[in-house]
Amino acid sequence: MKTNQVQNDTSKTEKHTPYIDVPSEVKVNEPFQVTVQVGKDIPHPNLVEHHIKWIQVFFEEEGRAFNPIHVATFDMGPTYAEPKVSFTMKVQKPGKLIALAYCNVHGLWENAVEIKAI
């Protein structure tokens, strides 16, 4: 798995790292919006020969014995589906939201953000 910290080529980092747009603080059991986008600053190619195949989202709940929890999977076809997804979720405890994105050429990429639940 690659993250923006382990890749020296910043042009690849910008195109492959899944960016997570989510409030840093949410209310317990209240729905909130999550957007995950691959290639936020520099668009990722969306060609048959080079594209984002899927995005998966997990939540690592604070204090839970078995983590992470699978939240969502989004499969994408090349040329038509852009690598940006939005969905609504809710949490009962604080934790870390993890996004994985799979590029058919450059492999698996990961990013994560902390979510405070009040």
Residues classed as catalytic: 14-16, 44, 50, 103, 106
**Which residue, among 26, 31, 6, has the nearest Cα to 16 in the 3D structure?**
6
CB of 18 within 8 A of CB of 2?
no
105 CB neighbour count, 10 Å cutoff = 10
**C-alpha atoms less than 13 angstroms from C-alpha of 46 in its C-beta half-sphere:** 14
